[in-house]
Structure 1
Amino acid sequence: MVRIVERGGHGLAGAPSPTPPSGSDTLLGRALGKVLAYLALTKPRVIELLLVATIPAMLLADRGTIDFPLVLATLFGGWMGAASANTLNCVVDADIDKVMKRTARRPLARMAVPTSHALIFGLVLGVGSFAWLWWAANLLAGLLVVATIAFYVLVYTMVLKRRTWQNVIWGGAAGCMPVLVGWAAVTGTLSWEPVVLFLVIFFWTPPHTWALAMRYKEDYKAAGVPMLPVIATEERVTKQIVVYTWLTVLATLALVPAAGVVYAAIALVAGAWFLLMAHQLYAGVRRGESVKPLRLFLQSNNYLAVVFLGLAVDSVLGMSTIGSFFS
Structure 2
Amino acid sequence: MSAAVHPLVSPWGRFGLYSYFIDAPEPAIVDTGIASSPAEGLLPALQQLGRSIEDVRWILLTHGHIDHLGGAQALHDLTGGKAKVVIHEADAPLLRSRQAHVDEYVQGRSRYLNAPDGAQQQAQTAQAVISGEMEPAVLVRGGETLSLGGDVRVKVHAVPGHTPGSVAYQLDDAVFAGDAVQIHGAANRFPGYTDPDAYRSSLAYLRDEVRPERLYLGHPYRGADGEPYGVELDAAQARRALDESLALEARIRGSVTRCLEAGLAATDSVYSPFEPVAAELGYTSDPTLEPSPFFTTLDGYRSRFTQ
Structure (1/2) with the larger helix percentage = 1
Larger radius of gyration: 1
Q: Same fold (TM over 0.5)?
A: no
TM-score (norm 1): 0.31
